[in-house]
A and B are shown apart, each in its own frame.
Chain A
């Protein structure tokens, strides 16, 4: 099992404030309630006592307090996620602030990095500099991303992070290809959304062939049920219903944008998002009692010059903290976010923006933090070089917050201090060795250099990681998959 890091959570809301937000969310679900563009969801709510009125192409649903409270109580407080290698299983316990990090966002753009020689016009000095090229993502990129993430210590789970846009990828074969590309190149838990709900059973069947009868599901799903403010989207709501019927874990994700699709105020966005997620959780439990779901908190603030997303804004971090605290209040494991910024290129600026939320999200104690690796330009671009840097920096954040062992450390340290004071050199270096060997210390920043040298070193590391062997799906299982599903031969 992957342990993650158990933290003492940083909390902004006290018990009374949490209760106030809870009550505000319940009142939002009554008035104005939600708009559902999905008829089946409206019917399920109506059958269970909600007030539903039909309009032209949508339904208004006013959800009574008791229905929400009773449904939310049914949602499991522990969700287990399996993996091809059982060592990578995850147990997400809402009572335990144990943080795990993973990838996320189906990015449209891949940022390739090359290295070229340049000669200074003034001094004639030759130097190497990174050069970048943007292009559409392919299924091969997804395979490569999974291979790199398999090797990285701090990537605990994998959410497909490339929108595969090859010419021979269609709506009909996209889902099996993206799940196969991920599962064949890594042995950690794989999560994703669906492009075509009609392919849900194919994806599940393929995962079951690969898992070889493991009890815990090696894949799980994301359903972005709500479009803020408070609107149930027809397709993704249907996805939630069908995934829950098959008893697969689902993230019920909301992404209100403070300042445009939600109030800019911290309390307003947290309350609205909470209402959106509670509505989804209620629906899930009405479809199947005790269905495993995650509280999908993905809020952000918008920038005021363009109304684009501003993940690096301080308020985004405030919203994150509120989301995690509300999930804890309901006893539902929390899917949160970290590591997103506005910068388009890997390196210092991107890292500065990302570290703000990497650190804060670790501090919140969310059980399942996505978006944490490799994203640039919001969630639009993926850079494997940045992904490797992010892995290092997430590790640093985890180190800061890891559990203390005060008594044991004092016992050791006092002995060391007394011994060292009796030497001529007064150096504690020999005692640092076992900590270094235990992996608790990084010996030095491994990509040290000016900005350009750092990226060139990271690129070398990427090549090493890509050439490392991966425990692929066994050949007999591959044969069965390729016989049964339209998976592209070139990623076999």
Chain B
């Protein structure tokens, strides 16, 4: 096997194992000390393997991870670990991508005003990063004004906005965000999710309903395709 093939195989293996760097354990608690995605991607670039090849390899690995999840071999923690590993790999790749004029797609995520429940939002953010997005995570209890301001400041580079809320009392604030965006003349797509949210509610406020983080990532990818 050529050195370049060997390193790409290792990147793929480590994405599947969810190992960000050499400090990380694999699924069974082993492999500590062996290079993870961060070191391997860095090594690949130094070995003059082009970023395009590395990204293809990472995408292949995530297809494997997805299949393992579908068949029940992998669980959500495994998916998230792999997504994190991809995210770290993409950070190493970023300067190279910028050189050739490739930029990550940006996505804003936030838990709306009045709500501090952010597990769903965090899972979504991790999965988005794993799918190659640049995520602007605004945290919890974020007002509609702040969200609109951030979207504005990014000067049209935002692909979409992801909002979460756990409580029926706070989910109404998602409607405030979509309303404010409309008022400001911004036609950004808003993905909404969370325990209290339903498709009917999403339709009512003019947002896109996502049943879980996985569906959210699929919908985010569709937004890019739509342009």
Interface assignment of B154: CB less than 8 Å from any CB of chain A: no
- Given A424-B137, A437-B27, A437-B28, the answer on whether A430 and B77 have CB atoms closer than 8 Å is yes
- Smallest CB separation, A436 vs chain B (Å): 7
Contact at A434–B119, with CB atoms within 8 Å? no
Tell me the minimal C-beta distance from B190 to chain A in angstroms.
21
Contact check, A443 vs B137: say whether CB atoms are below 8 A apart.
Answer: no
Q: In the complex, which residue of chain A has the Cβ closest to the Cβ of B78? A: A433
From 95 to 124 in chain B, residues with beta carbon under 8 angstroms from any chain A beta carbon are 118-119, 122-123
When distances are taken between beta carbons in the complex, the residues of chain A under 8 Å from B125 are 424-425
C-alpha gap A424/B109 in the complex (Å)? 12
- Contact at A427–B122, with CB atoms within 8 Å? yes
Q: B38 at the A/B interface (Cβ < 8 Å)?
A: no
Answer yes or no: B29 CB below 8 A from chain A CBs.
Answer: yes
Instruction: Specify which chain B residues have a CB less than 8 angstroms from the CB of A427 in the assembled complex.
Output: 80, 119, 122-123, 126
Complex contacts, A438 vs chain B, CB 8 Å: 28-29
Distance between A29 CB and nearest chain B CB, rounded to angstroms: 55
- Contacting residue for A430 out of B18, B28, B118, B122, CB 8 A: B18
Enumerate chain A residues within 8 angstroms of B123, measured Cβ to Cβ. 425, 427
Contact A426 B122, CB 8 Å, known A434-B25, A436-B75, A437-B27: yes
Residue A414 lies at the interface, judged by CB distance under 8 Å to chain B: no
Q: How far is the CA of A432 from the CA of B74 in the complex (A)?
A: 12
**Complex contacts, A430 vs chain B, CB 8 Å:** 18, 24, 77, 80-81, 84
CA A426 to CA B111, docked complex, whole Å? 15
B81 and A433 form a contact (CB under 8 A): yes
- CB contacts (< 8 Å) of A424 on chain B: these are 122, 125, 137
B27 adjacent to A429 (CB under 8 Å): no
B3 touches A (CB below 8 Å): no
A432 to B80, CA, bound (A): 11
Chain B residues 20-57 with CB under 8 Å of chain A are 24-25, 27-29
Looking at the complex, which one of A425, A426, A434, A443 makes contact with B75 (CB distance below 8 Å)? A443
Contact A433 B122 (CB under 8 A): no
Q: Which residue of B lies closest to A428 (CB)?
A: B77
> Chain A residue with minimal CB distance to B20?
A430
CB distance from B70 to the nearest CB of A (A): 15
0/1 string, A414-428, CB within 8 A of B gives 1: 000000000011110
Q: A425's contact among B24, B27, B78, B126, by CB below 8 Å, is which?
A: B126
> Hey, which chain A residues are within 8 Å of B153, CB to CB?
none
Closest partner residue, chain A, to B118 (CB atom) = A426
Does B77 contact A436, Cβ atoms closer than 8 Å?
yes
Would you give 17 A-B contacts (Cβ < 8 Å), ordered by A?
A: A424-B122, A424-B125, A425-B122, A425-B123, A425-B125, A426-B122, A427-B123, A429-B77, A429-B80, A430-B18, A430-B24, A430-B77, A430-B84, A433-B27, A436-B77, A437-B29, A438-B28
Contacts A429-B77, A430-B80, A437-B27 given; 20 further ones with Cβ under 8 A? A424-B137, A425-B125, A426-B118, A427-B80, A427-B119, A427-B123, A429-B76, A430-B18, A430-B24, A430-B77, A430-B81, A430-B84, A433-B18, A433-B25, A433-B27, A434-B27, A434-B29, A436-B77, A437-B28, A438-B28
